[in-house]
Structure 1
Amino acid sequence: MKKLAIVTTHPIQYYAPWFKLLADRNNVEVKVFYTWSQASDEVIDKTFGKTIKWDIPLLDGYAFEFLENISKDPGTHHKNGIDCPELNNKIENWKPDAILVFGWYLKSHLEVMKYFNGKIPVWFRGDSTLLDDTPGLRQVLRKYYLTYIYGFIDKAFYVGTENKKYFKSVGVKDSQLILAPHAIDNDRFNDSEEKDYEKLALKWRAELGFKPEDLVILFAGKFESKKQPDFLLKTVQKANKYLKQPLKLLLVGHGPLEKELLSLSEADFNIKFIPFQNQSKMPILYRLGNVFCLPSKGPGETWGLAVNEAMASSRPVIVSNKVGCASDVVKIGKNGYVFNYYDEPALIKIFNTLSISNLKTMGEVAQKDIEKWNFTAIVEALEDAF
């Protein structure tokens, strides 16, 4: 049986389930080398401004090892935040047939790519795009550097259309590119009689003060500049000046813009807030809204997996053109909408077309459309690569 070593920083809900699926299928022997030892139990998120400990199992069903990270400032926010002197030896001793690396910019991850280049096939997974590129000398120099970096890999597993464009722009050949689509645990977000998510969401909505006839727009994520929750809030307020029945906005999360958002919405009864929610609550949370909105301006909204989660929860989406998944999963007018990230009138125009009945129909389409973006597709791509 072929052996695959996976190098990534810490357990997260978007990767651990397909690590387990890969191990369960028993076609490939897998071992995950986690390089951020300080995050083995909980993660200090600098943007959220809080410590996060997920309430779903992320280390079950697959082999893993946490490598000692000796960085004095551990984390993924800078290249020297991951420094694991034992990593290459540990991988070499395990004798894998290929190595899959997440994130080249981290010190030890790049060392793996360089050290094993030409010895063992080096595979790479990332989700960078060209959506935030601006022409100029810096862009040219970055392209040359990235072409050098990706010269150390044998295959790149791209997550979608925009990511594929990025890889091709920095010299990765078509023969090296394999689709392994960005996905979430669709089954965990799908409803059933046993889960009763819709009923639980209706109860929660009522507790928040929403009426059945209220059209609720949901934002869930970090309250940070790149995601533009402030832009969304102001746009909803402008739209409500002209609408007979005002839109409701529910903002879920924490972050640097929290005080500003609270100030902007003071005495506005159409705007409500609830704090960050852990993973077990998310399938209910997405159902609090009639539509999910991610109005990001970037940089760095390379995909937007919250969009997958909302669609799997049978909710349509409104996303900006800076959200990486827009060109792959959003079918305008059928399961969602796309607008230019700075275009307030365009977003208001979308708001003016919304109705609860139409959004319900679009949500059903969204759920069906996102089914093909699943963990099995990722695992099959890795197995086939051998």
Structure 2
Amino acid sequence: MKEASVFAVKAALLFDHFGPYHQARLRAAAEGMEVVGVEFHPRSRDYAWEPARLGVLPLVSVPPTKSEGPEAAREFQGVLEKTLEEIQPEVVAIPGWASREALVALSWCLRQGVPTILMSESCAHDEVRVGWKEWVKRRIIDCHSAALAGGTLHARYLKLLGMGEDQISLGYDAVDNAWFAEQGPRLRRSLDSSQEPCFLASARFIPKKNISRLLTAYAAYRQVCGDAKPWRLVLLGDGELRGEVEKQVHELGLRPFVSMPGFLQYEELPCYYARASAFIHASTTEQWGLVVNEAMASGLPVLVSNRCGCAEDLVEEGINGFTFDPEDVQGMTAVMGRMAALPEDKLRQMGRESERIIADWGPARFAEGMRQAAITALKTGAKKPSLVDRVLLKILMSR
């Protein structure tokens, strides 16, 4: 078993796709160890991001399969295994435990005797848990040598599933804090002093993002404002429910007060954060909620659903924002009113507190968490799967 300095370790960091978040993490991790980034797919299945630009950092994109069905799965497995063989990593960080891609990578590592780091942002409450599925997870998690979790809730869930506390590091969920922090002040200085205050939300238009309840709560907030001028609402994003969202905005009489610019590339986001007065994220379930990181790095107070995995670590009640039950429309209305009623100097203070809190949850934390996870993985060594584990992995990979 290898006891070398982690700085000499060659680590393969695997992701579904190199989005802007992953680029910031890879750059930071590469400052402390030899890193090769591997993406399973050249395009995101959820976001229309531009291709990654990471300079000289080694990046590998697994070529898309030309087949369909079971043949495509076998083809992908062959290509990914060849990719890993060419890299010859000493440790491999794998995203999650559910996807076929992650399971193929784990299976290869187990056969080759390469220690693995499970990168996880799942928590116990993000969906209904079923006994047999939890048993399967326990078996898969036990095949990993270490873990890099998002935050407190995610580490707690990994421990519940059998991973030792000393095997878990934190910091998986990070964005490029410095970039957002640098853009904000410059953009704010250029804004017209008559800029109207607004709530900003950024999310895909899909059911779990809870946009329907957010709009209902916003409409109610406007009705109870009294003599105070209501804030506007800006909804960034796009998705399958856009037509329904537009219809609801019309039916609630909100068209003059709600803006929907659509999906924006990373470079376009700071302008909207700079114009906002506060950020709101209303998901009914969310493994983390990286848009909250972005907003806090941009110096905004935040309103965050208590179902978001980031809420426990990033929101200090009354200090940098408030949490709320995403299914309680009246409660959401109340926190919107509470935030909008605060004086300007208090909002700025809360924004500074957001910057203070998020400073400890940026790419540097990801890099340190990954370094610690690599040390742990190398000390633990590659796991030796039982016959049950090998059969289980084979079955799961054939789905």
If the length of structure 1 is used for normalisation, what is the TM-score?
Answer: 0.85
- More moved, 169-178 vs 347-356: 347-356
Instruction: Work out which of the residue numbers 271, 278, 284 in structure 1 matches 2:271.
Output: 284
Identical pairs, percent: 23
Shift of 1:224: 1.4
| 1:66 matched residue in structure 2 | 61
- 1:340 offset after TM fit, Å? 1.0
Partner secondary structure for residue 56 of structure 2: coil
Deviation at 1:125, TM superposition (A): 0.5
Q: Residue 81 and residue 243 in structure 1: after superposition, are their counterparts in 2 closer, same or farther (change >3 A)?
A: farther
Match of 1:378 among 334, 354, 366: 366
Corresponding residue number in structure 2 for 1:163:
154
- Secondary structure of 1:15's counterpart equals helix
Structure 1 SS opposite 2:76: coil
Bigger relative CO (Cα 8 Å, ≥ 6 apart): 2
Q: SS of the residue aligned with 2:295?
A: helix
Q: Deviations over 1:61-98 (max 9, x none)?
A: 31122222326569xxxx95992413223323433211
Amino acid paired to 1:157: L
Q: Does the residue aligned with 1:371 lie in a helix, a strand or coil?
A: helix
* 1:364 equivalenced with 2:346 (yes/no): no
Query: Does the CA contact (< 8 Å) of 1:215 and 1:356 recur in 2?
Result: no
CA deviations on 1:109-164 (whole Å, 9 max, x unpaired) are: 212212322711111112111123436xxx11111010111121000111101111
8 Å CA contact 2:270, 2:298 repeated in 1: yes
Q: Using the alignment, how far apart are the partners of 2:257 and 2:17 within structure 1?
A: 38
The answer to whether the 8 A contact 1:67-1:87 is kept is yes
Question: Which of 242, 245, 256 is 1:261 aligned to?
Answer: 245
Q: Which residue of 2 aligns with 1:246?
A: 230
User: Is the 1:290–1:356 contact (alpha carbons within 8 Å) kept by the matching residues of 2?
Assistant: no
CA distance in 2, matches of 1:338, 1:261: 23
Instruction: Determine the C-alpha separation between the residues in 1 that align with 2:291 and 2:64.
Output: 30
Quickly say closer, same or farther: Cα 1:227–1:72, change in 2 above 3 A: farther
User: Could you tell me how far 1:311 is from its partner in structure 2?
Assistant: 0.4
Q: What is aligned with 1:313?
A: 298
**Cα distance in structure 1, aligned partners of 2:329 and 2:175:** 30
CA change 1:220–1:80 in 2 (3 A) is: farther
Per-residue deviation at 1:181? 4.4
Q: Which residue of 1 aligns with 2:378?
A: none
- Letter of the 1:318 counterpart: L
C-alpha distance 242-192 of structure 1, shift in aligned 2 (>3 A): closer
1:258-278, CA deviations, whole angstroms, 9 ceiling, x for partnerless residues? 222222222432222212211
- The change in CA–CA distance for 1:108 and 1:154 in structure 2 (over 3 A counts) is same
Contact 1:329 1:369 in 2 (8 A): yes
1:91 lines up with 2:84 in the alignment: yes
Secondary structure of the 1:105 match is coil
Q: Distance in 2 between matches of 1:81 and 1:222?
A: 32
Whichever structure has more helix as a proportion of its residues is 2
SS of the residue corresponding to residue 285 of structure 1 reads helix
Task: Give the 3-state SS of the residue equivalent to 1:130 in structure 2.
Answer: coil
In the superposition, the TM-score normalised over structure 2's length comes to: 0.82
1:21 counterpart (18, 21, 28): 28
**1:111-260 correspondence to structure 2 within 5 Å:** 111-117=104-110, 119-134=113-128, 139-191=130-182, 196-200=186-190, 202-203=191-192, 211-212=194-195, 214-244=196-226, 245-260=229-244
**How far is 1:11 from its partner?**
1.1
2:38 to 29, 33, 41: 33
Matches of 1:117 and 1:17, distance apart in 2: 29
List alignment gaps of at least 5 residues for structure 1: none
Contact 1:81 1:106 in 2 (8 A): no
Q: Distance in 2 between matches of 1:379 and 1:82?
A: 32
Structure 2 distance, partners of 1:232, 1:80, is: 40
Measure, in 2, the Cα distance between the counterparts of 1:188 and 1:120. Answer: 35
Rounded to whole Å, the distance in 2 between the matches of 1:82 and 1:278 is 32
Equivalent-residue separation in structure 2 for 1:190 and 1:53 (angstroms): 21
Q: After superposition, what is the alpha-carbon deviation per residue over 1:290-313, rounded to whole angstroms, capped at 9, x for unaligned? A: 111001112xx1000000000000
Aligned pair partner of 1:102 in 92, 95, 112? 95
Correspondence 1:42-81 to 2 at 5 A: 42-45=43-46, 52-54=48-50, 57-70=52-65, 72=67
Q: CA RMSD in A?
A: 2.5
Q: Flag the 1:82–1:225 CA change in 2: closer, same or farther, 3 A.
A: farther
Within a 5 Å distance, the mapping from 1:337-352 to structure 2 comes to 337-352=322-337
Say how many residue pairs are matched.
Answer: 356
Gaps of 5+ in 2: 1-7, 376-399
SS of 1:85's partner is helix
